[in-house]
Amino acid sequence: MNELELKYGCNPNQKPSRIFMENGSDLPIEVLNGKPGYINFLDALNSWQLVCELKKATGLPAAASFKHVSPAGAAVGLPLSDVLKKIYFVDDLELSPLACAYARARGTDRMSSFGDWIALSDVCDKETAALIAREVSDGIIAPGYTDEAFKILLGKRKGRYNIVKIDESYKPDPIERKQVFGVTFEQGRNEFEINKALLDDVITNNKEIPEDAKRDLIISLITLKYTQSNSVCYAVDGQTIGVGAGQQSRIHCTRLAGNKADIWHLRQHPKVLALQFKEGMGRPDRDNTIDVYISDECDDVIGDDVWQNYFAVRPERLTKEEKAEFLAEVDNVCLGSDAFFPFGDNIERARKSGVKYIAQPGGSIRDDNVIEVCNKYNMAMAMTKMRLFHH
């Protein structure tokens, strides 16, 4: 089959809509269940490329959680600590390496991942399917599904869950095209391989980037390769922890992603871990409530009389001072950028979120200033000399 008709395009008024192969060959995907839409397939094909590259670069199973053609999170299948299991709401599940990868990808930014599109680098197993079954998600793409996993996924969304299988041997043409306003754009595909060799040119006084940090920098850069630009990505422990996508200003990317990284860390604060929710409260409601609880606007948003709607036990406030003290201990975070940092203010903001290792293309007329700020904090920065814009 070389064509698939879709319900509509980006919006219901955009008809007709289809995906097809211009050369007449068969589509590399097979819809096993559901009826994915235009944006679903944009998410599916972008996220599939991301997880394939992550697996190739790290040798580990990989997963991504996509929303509106940018990753909310991406990760590889490293084991989870007890704290991560708790904040990802998976402490009651048996987790395979692939399930760990998706728990981490979803855990980057659980609010943004609500209703996500999932990509898996490996055949979906029953452990990963069991995790997916209890999260709100639009669909999944993977190279295959075990019988048990497929049966579990069929139970989602009253049997309408979008399940897509992709031919993992498929290789696209080296030239890609798209139309905008009736004009056809053509370019060579971005086949640039991101690997550890990209991190060899460390231009700061601190030249030491340990192996786990190199892995995390690679994860951040591959994630950025499939994130709408401008974009910046924070990563640690085999996963992204904050993705700032589609901003016009680099500092806004750094702030946005940094704020998400701070929230990821604060979810591990003892006061957050001690929260006792009302019985039967769903995961999305818990995520939303935790986000409000962590926010500086908490007292303005929710008064004393409202907490009883969410918690079995009235929680103590998490003060600004307590948050600042907790975040001050964060360290060894990695940061990737899809283009150069034009000013040192990006480094100042990154340091507030515990960044110690950076990978960015370089090439700004103010590189000296950026390097100077890195040296001030004993940070190690590699110049990759490769921009990763994606549109």
Q: What is the pLDDT of residue 273?
A: 96
At residue 309, the pLDDT reads: 79
**E strand segments, the chain:** 3-5, 18-20, 29-33, 62-67, 70-76, 116-120, 137-142, 162-166, 175-180, 183-188, 231-236, 239-245, 333-337, 355-360, 380-383
For residues 27 and 110, state if they share a domain.
yes
Q: What is the domain range of residue 237?
A: 191-266+327-383
Q: Does residue 310 share a domain with residue 246? A: no
The answer, yes or no, to whether residue 108 has pLDDT greater than 70, is yes
Q: pTM of the full predicted structure?
A: 0.96
Residue numbers annotated as active site: 67-68, 230, 391
Considering the domain boundaries, does residue 183 fall inside one?
no
Do the domain assignments include residue 390?
no
* pLDDT confidence bin for 79, thresholds 50/70/90: very high
- The type of residue at 169 is S
Residues 28 and 104 occupy one common structural domain: yes
121 & 238 share domain: no
149 band by pLDDT with thresholds 50, 70 and 90: very high
pLDDT at 300 over 60: no
- Mean pLDDT for the chain overall: 95
Predicted local confidence at residue 205, as pLDDT = 98
pLDDT computed for residue 316 by the predictor:
84
Binned at pLDDT 50, 70 and 90, residue 179 comes out as very high
Average pLDDT over residues 213-223: 98
Same structural domain, 17 and 93: yes
Task: Quick: pLDDT tens for 4-28.
Answer: 999 999 999 999 999 999 888 999 9
Q: Is residue 115 part of a domain?
A: yes
pLDDT band at 334 (very low <50, low <70, confident <90, very high): very high
* Residues 236 and 376 grouped into a single domain: yes
